[in-house]
Structure 1
Amino acid sequence: MTRLIELSHRITEGMVTYPGVPGPRLGAHLSREASREVYAPGTEFHIGSIELVANTGTYLDTPHHRYPDGPDLSEVPLEALADLPGLVVRAEGLRSVGVGLLEGLDVRGRAVLLQTGWDRHFGTEAYFRDHPYLEPEAAKWLADRGPALVGIDSLNIDDTPPRGERPAHTLLLGAGIPIVEHLTGLAALPDTGFRLHAAPPMVAGMGTFPVRAYAVVGDRP
């Protein structure tokens, strides 16, 4: 028996994912009313449009996000984004995720998801302040051990002072390890024994994009 667990935030008109990043604008390329002039009586369609910054909602960072020559959305292999064995690191109530929470874990080839519980603040001003993050030493520990992907249910995998460095992005993306930020629902996952899917569209020349991240829990029939 398998279960599907949603790990993405819903994208809505005007939502703010990150301070200073404009929210998405939803519209219609072809409205249902206008389509009635195009199709036969009783037949109508809606073709929507959306204008958004790529870092909206729950999104994936590829190496191209940090490095101009790194693989972009169209170049990261599907095997690095879908059907990944998952591992949750429990860090709820902590300001940062350090090496001590990772030592002894077998992370190679796995999707390592950092559960901080910060997703409970999503959509509020509290989400933007003093958020949990991955410590630089822990990012290096992961980069040296080859996880397939690293995700977090917080504003950013790095601490975010106004003009700070981004060591976790630099180390992980430099090692070819994609990052998923703004996850949600990680508390519903077991520590292990699930498969993660977080594949974005294959957009050439872009480094980030929203994903419909979800986990498959349990044995397949």
Structure 2
Amino acid sequence: MRIIDLSTPVDATVWEPNPVEHDVMSPAEGGRHMAEGMKERYGLDFDPDDLPEGELLSLDTFKLTTHTGTHVDAPSHYGTRAAYGTPRHIDTMPLDWFVRPGLVLDLTDQPVGAVGADVLRREFDRIGREPEPMDIVMLNTGADRIAGTPKYFTDFTGLDASATHLLLDHGVKVIGTDAFSLDAPFTYMIEKYRESRDRGVLWPAHFVGREREYCQIERLANLDALPGPSGFMVSCPPVKLVGAGAGWARAVAFVPDGDDGDGSGAGLPG
């Protein structure tokens, strides 16, 4: 099996709407910190020079949102109430939702905005198959090519309510995208709302989650590296953050050796 990384890095050096803070305690600082702690807490003297090159262990502290980098949105992210009951947090979602066969839909020819169910149906026809129940469906919009720049947050393709419902009608529980959001960009939605005063243009993909339980994976990457639209497994379990509406994930695809890109998935485990 080949492993393809589908994740966007968390990087404090690139532009984010909510900047990432990354503080590093070096191994040398770790040694001094340990010596100070031993003295303060236990009254014990310890010389950091007794450590290899005076170093102990490094420690990284990150400050970021749960929606930074590749992450999974839980149903509780969409609101406090839902038609199906109380929305679940990320730590209570079933793990088997996140280790499933993958299906990639190519939306790289679509403009900035939100596409409807008709666009997805044309893509089903092109690839010669529809999603199976529990498939992890991922949208290749090409947005990961501009990740790390301000345009990544304003220039991408999302789904409208009809497209989201279509995938859920097929039994899909996890929908992914390489874009910043499964919805259209904020500026696009606000402009459409100003023109029409139609509330349905505001975060429709997310708000479908108030009617039907499902999760999103946002900010994927490298979908172009997959050998075809199907024939691979995806693993993207979210970090178990208690009571949170989202959790970071290291999404990867497992591709059988020798896959020729026709999506047949020869040798793929069932």
TM-score (norm 1): 0.88
Match of 1:58 in 2: 70
Alignment of 1:73-152 (within 5 A): 73-81=90-98, 83-95=99-111, 96-103=114-121, 105-152=130-177
Q: Could you tell me how far apart the structure 2 residues matched to 1:175 and 1:15 are?
A: 35
Aligned-partner residue type, residue 222 of structure 2: G
Match of 2:42 in 1: none
| Structure 1 moving runs of 4+ over 6 Å | none
Contact 2:15 2:150 in 1 (8 A): no
Q: Structure 2: state its 5+ residue gaps.
A: 35-47, 81-85, 125-129, 194-200, 257-266
Deviation at 1:121, TM superposition (A): 1.2
Change in Cα spacing, 1:170 to 1:147, as seen in structure 2 (3 Å) is: same
Match of 2:262 in 1: none
Contact 1:86 1:192 in 2 (8 A): yes
Contact 1:142 1:172 in 2 (8 A): no
Secondary structure of 1:36's counterpart equals helix
Tell me if 1:210 matches 2:248: yes
RMSD value, Cα: 2.1
Q: Could you tell me how far apart the structure 1 residues matched to 2:210 and 2:68 are?
A: 19
Q: Could you tell me how far apart the structure 2 residues matched to 1:72 and 1:201 are?
A: 11
**Of 14, 20, 26, which aligns to 1:24?**
20
Structure label with greater radius of gyration: 2
Which has the larger share of helix?
2
Match of 1:67 in 2: 79
Q: Which has the higher contact order (CA 8 A, sep 6+)?
A: 1
Please give the per-residue CA displacement for 1:113-165, whole angstroms capped at 9, x wherever unaligned. 11111211112232233411112211111222221310011121112224762
Q: Could you tell me how far apart the structure 1 residues matched to 2:13 and 2:88 are?
A: 30
Deviation at 1:70, TM superposition (A): 1.0
Match of 1:35 in 2: 30
Match of 2:202 in 1: 165
Contact 1:22 1:53 in 2 (8 A): yes
